[in-house]
């Protein structure tokens, strides 16, 4: 069952009327559906930055494992960093998209309390980022394009993560990404939070879903630091320029993948198809660029930000 956001209360009321078992008037049901569709279109055509933050975090939004299962075939999961342990916040492995072999790396939040705990709510530890580094090197060795799917509030901030070198592991991911001699495509599918996101989003092509966000800090964190007031969260969200359209204007990303009206959480199948098309189109384009030029362009792109 879909969960409704604060600004979707009117949609919820109409949905409850439509789902009323005692409603037998087909014409009335049709009118309610039309009213619902118009209302969704009206709300989603004028979203604030804070509303997009809420959509990016929506629990029904497709996560990394959903995209892997619906876009890629023959996925083979790879585990461990060969130094400390396995971090299930980061999913990685071989897969195929339309018979093109690729390396897939992504942050997974989970979709139930059990799976969220298993995946640590998508907040990777140093061993997760070191696993990603290992995957970068494997992909380069076998000349496989890398596809990364980013959906994280940020890297895990716990004491044990700092003790095991969280900052170093993120920095090494970025450093490796700038050197790896294979195409890299990154898609921010939900939240792109701070260094935890950049570690997997240092790519030739960086795309964002229309209602995803990409920011150095959460609006809540920004509000508490700059305004010292949690009530300033909406103001902070606007100031951070964290939406896909703002990131495109700032040249932080290359492209926006549209979402159907109502968000990816209401149109999952259509969203899988759109993401798949954008991945394939960019893979074909990147194939026409020499590896040397690709690496040079990648470095210049991030140095000029």
| Per-position DSSP letters for 181-206, written without gaps between them | SS-EEEEEEEEEEHHHHHTT--SSEE
Would you say residue 137 has pLDDT above 80?
Answer: yes
Whether the predicted model's global pTM rises above the 0.85 cut? yes
Supply the pLDDT for residue 21.
63
Mean pLDDT of the region 54-68: 96
Mean pLDDT of the region 22-29: 74
Predicted confidence band of residue 167 (pLDDT cuts 50, 70, 90): very high
Per-residue pLDDT tens over the stretch 209-243: 999 999 999 999 999 999 998 889 999 999 999 99
Would you say residue 23 has pLDDT above 70?
Answer: no
Predicted confidence band of residue 304 (pLDDT cuts 50, 70, 90): confident
DSSP per-residue string spanning the chain: -PPPPGGGHHHHHHHHHHT-TT---HHHHHHHHHHHHHHHHHHHTS--HHHHHHHHT-TTS--HHHHHHHH-EEEEE----SSS---TTEEEEEEEETTEEEEEEEE---SSHHHHHHTGGG---HHHHHHHHHHHHHHHHTT--EEEEEEES-S---HHHHHTTHHHHHHHHHHHHHH-SS-EEEEEEEEEEHHHHHTT--SSEEEEETT-EEESS-HHHHIIIIIS-GGGHHHHHHHTT-BHHHHHHTTS-SEEE---TT-TTT-HHHHHHHHHHHHHHHHHHHHTS-HHHHHHHHHHHHH--
Give the H/E segment covering residue 90.
strand 90-97
Mean pLDDT rounded to a whole number for the chain? 94
Would you say residue 74 has pLDDT above 80?
Answer: yes
CATH code at 50-303: 3.90.226.10
Would you say residue 258 has pLDDT above 70?
Answer: yes
Question: Rounded distance, CA 165 to CA 167, Å?
Answer: 6
152 near 193, Cβ under 8 Å?
yes
Predicted confidence band of residue 29 (pLDDT cuts 50, 70, 90): confident
| Residue 27 neighbours by CB under 8 Å, 6+ apart | none
| Tokens representing residue 206 in the block | 């960086």
- Lowest mean pLDDT, pick from 16-20, 74-78, 114-118, 153-157: 16-20
Predicted confidence band of residue 19 (pLDDT cuts 50, 70, 90): confident
Per-residue pLDDT tens over the stretch 84-129: 999 999 999 999 999 999 999 999 999 999 999 999 999 999 999 9
Mean pLDDT of the region 273-299: 96
196 near 152, Cβ under 8 Å?
yes
The full length of the chain comes to: 305
Would you say residue 25 has pLDDT above 80?
Answer: no
What percentage of residues in the chain have a pLDDT greater than 90? 88
Per-residue pLDDT tens over the stretch 264-280: 999 999 999 999 999 99
Supply the pLDDT for residue 18.
82
Predicted confidence band of residue 80 (pLDDT cuts 50, 70, 90): very high
Mean pLDDT of the region 194-220: 95
């Amino acid at each position: 069952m879909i969960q409704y956001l604060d600004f979707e209360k009117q949609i919820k009321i109409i949905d409850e009327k439509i789902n009323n078992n005692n409603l037998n008037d087909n014409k009335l049901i049709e009118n309610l559906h039309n009213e619902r569709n118009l209302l969704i279109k009206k709300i989603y055509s004028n979203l604030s930055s804070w509303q997009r933050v809420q959509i990016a975090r929506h629990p029904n939004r497709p996560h990394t494992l959903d995209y892997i299962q619906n876009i890629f075939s023959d996925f083979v999961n790879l585990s461990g960093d060969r130094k400390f342990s396995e971090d299930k916040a980061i999913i990685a492995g071989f897969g195929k998209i339309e018979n093109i072999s690729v390396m897939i790396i992504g942050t997974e939040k989970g979709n139930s309390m059990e799976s969220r705990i298993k995946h640590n709510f998508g907040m990777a530890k140093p061993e997760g980022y070191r696993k990603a580094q290992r995957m970068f090197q494997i992909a380069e060795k076998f000349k496989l394009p890398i596809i990364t799917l980013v959906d994280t509030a940020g890297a895990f901030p716990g004491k044990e993560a700092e003790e095991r070198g969280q900052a170093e592991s993120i920095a090494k991911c970025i450093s490796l990404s700038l050197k790896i001699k294979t195409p890299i495509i990154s898609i921010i599918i939900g939240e792109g939070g701070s260094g935890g996101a950049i570690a997997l989003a240092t790519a030739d092509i960086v795309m964002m879903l229309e209602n995803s966000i990409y920011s150095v800090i959460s609006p809540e964190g920004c509000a508490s630091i700059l305004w010292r007031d949690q009530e300033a969260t909406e103001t902070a969200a606007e100031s951070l320029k964290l939406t896909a359209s703002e990131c495109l204007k700032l040249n932080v990303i290359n492209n926006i993948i549209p979402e159907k009206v109502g968000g990816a959480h209401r149109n999952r199948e259509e969203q899988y198809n759109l993401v798949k098309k954008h991945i394939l189109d960019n893979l074909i384009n990147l194939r026409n660029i020499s590896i040397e030029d690709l690496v040079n362009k990648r470095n210049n792109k991030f140095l000029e930000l």
